[in-house]
Amino acid sequence: MSRRKGFAVLLCTLAFSAALFTAVAQEHAHWTYEGEEGPSHWGELEAEFALCSTGTTQSPIDIELNVGVNIDDIAFDYAGSALNILNNGHTIQVNYDAGSSITYGDVKYDLVQFHFHTPSEHTVAHEAAPMEVHFVHRSESGALAVVGVMLTEGETANAAYAAVFDHLPAEESEATTMDAQVTALDMLPETRTFFTYAGSLTTPPCSEGVRWLLLDTPVQLSAEQIEAFKAIFELNARPVQPQNARDVIHDTGSGS
């Protein structure tokens, strides 16, 4: 074998090994929202999920309606996006096109995706909403910030959410780009004051260090829109977690 051919074989072998390692690294234990693979057992399913049981700043939590303060607003800089929608087996997710972001505490976070839970994962004064949408953002350093919006039932369909609810994939699927657009800014309430606290991902591996920004004004969907989601995911909400020593701050500023 020539030196050139031998080098080529080595590169192919290394590439295959790297691909195999990546595939293995991305395989995780199966988890659900009920039964032996449900939230109370997530931390036992594999080592990478340990924080689901041992973490001390876990999400979601119950939000108490106490006196708020005026703190930094969230600056939203959202553009539109193609509807890149998928069913990942746990929720309906829309991967958002690049170019949209928020700024909070002088840190810019890019909007990566949004997804839904039913009922709401956070509760306010121990009351859950029919659904909750999470807008997931990532900073240049990799820090996560999630804007949460409670979704309640109204009399008419919400036009800003129509593209999503008209294209819900009923079965687990890869992301598909539909002939439709979504605008995240239109999916938010006009009043954007919020609760904020330090929390975690609400699904395995339950990573901590997530900045939660839960808007305190809900958005209405129609009963038909809510039921369309529930027909696919009847329950996909993690129960509330202990607040422990964390502060929850209620912004009463202008919102932006």
Residues classed as catalytic = 90
| Tokens describing residue 150 | 């409670």
CA-CA distance, 80 to 90, in Å (whole number)?
25
Query: Computed from CA positions of residues 88, 236, 62, 243, in that sequence, does the dihedral angle turn out positive or negative?
Result: negative
Answer for the pair 245, 213: CB distance below 8 angstroms, yes or no.
no
H or E segment to which residue 208 belongs: strand 208-215
Cβ atoms of 216 and 250 within 8 Å: the answer is yes
Tell which residue, 80, 73, 86, has the closest CA to residue 100: 80
Phi, then psi, of 136 in degrees rounded to 5: -95, 130
